[in-house]
Amino acid sequence: LNRIKASGLKLRFCTNETQATREKFVKKLQGMGFDISVAEVTAPAPAACRILKERSLRPHLLVHNDLVPEFAEIDKANPNCVVIGDAAENFTYANLNEAFRVLIGMEKPVLISLGRGRYYKETDGLKLDVGAYMKALEYACDVQAEVVGKPAKTFFESALAEMGVSPQQAIMIGDDIVNDVGGAQRCGMRALQVRTGKYRPCDENHPHVKPDAYVNNLAEAVDMILQQL
């Protein structure tokens, strides 16, 4: 990261994290020694807030308690849409029924989902991700959710707009073949897959997505990018 920043290249961190505010997320990374600030992070919740403001939407929130502060400035009275994130323990029977009732009570239900993940792994085992609950509400209300976050095209476009560069001028580095690499490429960017994190060898035979290159780790990605400047 330091070498990228020293080179003068513009940089954004694109995360699908929806269990914590950017503040909390950044503090965690800073604690690990990374040079990162909140202003450099593109995350689903602030992207959703932009959409809510643009379209005068007042959300009913079904999100993680720690994410609620991201919506502090948003009017939530008399809701006319539902925003769903990875609410974890907040995915109770009562809360799901409540979100459903808000949606089904609208003439034209609007459901905004902070991601479409199927599941993820925590220390105590696999957990259903927001995508599964999104599907439940989609089916019950016969609507299609608007997904904010990777791999949505609008999400990458937000990051590009914040940097003021075109897709052709940008390159994505990520470990997720579909959400990072596929999403960025569909947006017109080039993309590198690192062979770390959630990378799996079978990703290299993915039926639809082929990265512009593979690198063994982030340092190799930086080497490759700086060599081509």
Binding site for its own copies (CB under 8 A): 88-89, 91-93, 96-97, 100-101, 104, 118-119, 125-129, 131-133, 135-142
Query: According to DSSP H, which parts of 66-205 are helical?
Result: 93-104, 130-141, 153-163, 183-186
Find the helix or strand (DSSP H, E) in which 225 lies.
helix 218-227
> Given the complex with its own copies, which of 59 and 117 has the nearer CB atom?
117
11-12-13-19 Cα dihedral, nearest 10 degrees: 160
Give whichever of 123 and 227 is closer to its own copies, judged by the CB atom: 123
Q: Which of 172, 178, 173, 223 is nearest to 194 (CA)?
A: 173
C-beta closer to its own copies: residue 9 or 132: 132
Cα–Cα dist 71/180, whole Å: 25
Closest CB 20 distance from its own copies, rounded Å: 18
For residues 201 and 222, the answer to whether their CB atoms sit within 8 Å is: no
In the complex with its own copies, the residue whose CB is nearer, 97 or 166, is 97
Contacts of 138 (CB under 8 A, 6+ apart): 111, 144, 145
User: What is the nearest approach in angstroms of its own copies to the Cβ of residue 187?
Assistant: 24
The closest alpha carbon to 170, from 203, 216, 204, 212, belongs to 212
> In whole angstroms, how close is the CB of 147 to its own copies at the nearest point?
13
Picking from 73, 214, 206, 104, the residue whose alpha carbon sits closest to that of residue 151 is 206
- Based on its alpha-carbon atoms, the radius of gyration of the chain, rounded to whole angstroms, reads 18
* Min separation Cβ 228 and its own copies, Å: 38
Closest approach of Cβ 121 to its own copies, in Å? Answer: 11
Q: Toward its own copies, which CB reaches closer, 100 or 214?
A: 100
Around 168, how many Cα atoms within 13 Å sit in the side-chain half-sphere?
0
Please, which residue, 77 or 94, has the CB nearer to its own copies? 94
Nearest-approach distance from CB 101 to its own copies, in angstroms? 5
